[in-house]
Amino acid sequence: MPRKFPSVLAAFVSMAAVSQAQCLVTAGATPVTLTPTGTFYPADDEGLSAPLPLGFAFPMGAATYTHVVIESNGVAYLTNGGPAVGATGFGFIDFPGFSGDSPRIAAFWTDLEGANAGTAWRVSVDSSVPGTFKINWENVNEYQEPGQFTVQAVLNSSGIVGLSSDAGIATQAYNAAIGISAANGLPTTSSDLSTGPTSTVAALYEEFPVGAPDLVGGTTSLFPAGTGYVAAGTCSSAKHTAYGAGCYTLRASFYEAFDFVVPDLSGSGMTLLFTGAAYTALPALVSYLPPSAGATVLALGNDTDTPVTLTGTLNYPGGSTSTLTVCSNGFISAGPNNGTGSFPDVFEHLNSTDACWRAWYDYDVTSPGSGQVKFEQIGSIAYITWDGVHEFGSTTQNTFQMQFDTASGAVHMLWPNLAGTLTYLFGFSPGGSRADSALDISAALPGTFVVAPVDSEGISLSASPAPISTSTTGTAVVYAIDTIPEFAPGSSLYVALNVFSLGQLPAPGLDLTFLGAPGCSALVQSIDFTQSVVGFTPSLTTTLNLPAGVPAGTVIYVQAAALVTPNSLPNGQNASGIVTSNGIASLVQPY
């Protein structure tokens, strides 16, 4: 197996010194002393620093500034050595300010305090990199609200400002704002910074109401552009992001619901071939057969049902029956119906007591002039037909038929004329509690699809904890592979591996049908490193020891694969004996 991945990471570590990213890093910063701005509040709640030298002239608008005054509430003010003018206290008030007010830079301007973090709270600065000045508000919380978070503003001598936060920021009780402004009464309004807006004045900011801010766990950089600024996201905190899908997610039921339109199934049909434990669905193999003169008109009223007796036994997934229960509202069950409701209900369909086949709608056989529901059996095939039945409250007619073959177990669902515009539900459920199985039937039926014996999820991959790599520490990242299929049915043996790559094949990835694995995809670009695992449970793990010094912004792409005996899966596909998971993009950052 390829083993070069650790050496690739080692090469990345050696590049760390030249890899620059505007991300939230507070290590090495120096605490700042704040002086309380009022009699009743401590400095960790309402505090202001003395003017601190930046070490360079920072340009904003038509002026430059050499010092910064930091307020405890997530905002700093630019001066040329004097005190801040227009410092507000008590959190965010406005960005335009008034005539003579100092320019302001807000990492997360709201009513902050350090009460929840105790001595871990601090405001700190770092000017160790020439031309850069970092300001950190560490382990703060909203006034009298739970939770802690850290935010940062980074000023660059070029005029660029980076505004960073960790994943904990929230506006639980107070409005907040992120951005910059030359103030001095400059007219400006809030912009959505996540969309990359541009301003024509020396201000660009976003105000957040109470709720979840959309700029969480990342960095927004504001770049000078002419007389204004342009915003762009530049990095995010360490995280794992899933993409694509594993194979095979199988469902024991299916349905499609239509709301307030004539179903696109009208004029078509479907056959469910019984394969001994499951159905294979395909376009109808038979045609609609109009009821003969000898067909029995079922004694149904509005919203009622009645049993019919079959000649022979019908086998279906999960059971068999010689009696079907027919409901006037378009569904047929292998046992007593779960009620006779007129309004199609997905939950009821997926949790029916017995197997059911549905063309569910609010039909009314008692409507004057309506057709009726008819039953007859010819040979091994039982025909149940809604023959021009009205929808409730109108004379709109619907004609459809279900054919049950007691010899083969096949069920043919034929819909020659569906004309209603209320809510329909078509499908099959084998009884019991089933996972959601919504399906676009008309889109699937040019080919086939499998209705499995049981619900099963595709093989899946997840990872934790966050892939953090600092200059001194790394992280042991655990990749969990779940719902692995057995290597061979009944073996209780599970075989899998994780494939690590520095390149991604974005979802839906490369279709592996050509390898004999239809429905599976490759989601990584190369095989740079692999870890194999064998066990006796369908959930297994591998660990990647991420070293210290991996440059911020490195992304590692991972996908799991499991080995199975060829063609041993419930629906018999996959001659290659390989099934694949979703992908995981692991973004390495120092926080």
* Residue pLDDT, tens place only, 20-47: 344 677 888 999 999 998 766 788 888 9
Tokens describing residue 382 = 């039982």
Task: Dump the DSSP string for 28-43.
Answer: T-EE---EESSSSS-T
Query: What is the DSSP annotation of 56-125?
Result: EEEEETTEEEEEEEEETTTEEEEESSS--SS---SS---SS--TTPPPEEEEEESSEE-TTTGGG-EEEE
| pLDDT tens digit sequence for 253-270 | 999 999 999 999 999 999
510-525 confidence digits (pLDDT tens): 999 898 888 899 999 9
Positive or negative, the CA dihedral 168, 174, 175, 180 is negative
* CA diameter of the chain: 102
pLDDT of residue 394: 95
Contact 359, 402 (CB under 8 A): yes
Q: Which residues pair with 208 in a beta bridge?
A: 176
Residue 542's CB: how many other CB atoms inside 10 A? 20
> Across the strands, what pairs with 384?
375, 402
Structure confidence at residue 425 (pLDDT): 96
Q: Residue 96 has what pLDDT?
A: 86
State the pLDDT at residue 372: 98
B/e letters for 439-468, b = 16+ CB within 10 Å, e = fewer, are bebeebbeeebbbbbbbbebbbbbbeebbb
Chain segment 362-405, per-residue pLDDT in tens:
999 999 999 999 999 999 999 999 999 999 999 999 999 999 99
Taking 70 as the pLDDT cut, the residues of the chain under it are 1-23, 39-40, 212, 234-237, 570-573, 591
Structure tokens at 33: 């002393």
Q: What is the DSSP letter of 201?
A: S
pLDDT recorded at residue 213: 76
Q: Which of helix, strand or coil describes residue 373? A: strand
All residues at 6 or more sequence positions from 307 whose CB lies less than 8 Å from its CB, including other chains: 323, 324, 325, 326
Instruction: Say what the pLDDT of residue 130 is.
Output: 86
**What token pair was written down for 377?**
């059996």
User: Tell me: the pLDDT tens digits for 59-115?
Assistant: 998 899 999 999 999 999 999 999 999 887 777 778 888 889 999 999 999 999 888
**How open is the CA angle 107-66-84, to the nearest 5 degrees?**
60
Whether 159 and 177 have beta carbons less than 8 Å apart is answered as no
Q: Which of 591, 589, 533, 586 is nearest to 242 (CA)?
A: 586
**Element holding 9 (H helix, E strand):** helix 5-14
pTM over 0.85? The answer is no
Q: Which residue has the tokens 């695992």?
A: 533
Domains of the chain, each with CATH number or no CATH: 21-236 (no CATH), 240-247+457-587 (2.60.40), 254-451 (no CATH)
Task: Select from 537, 567, 556 the least CA-distant residue to 466.
Answer: 556
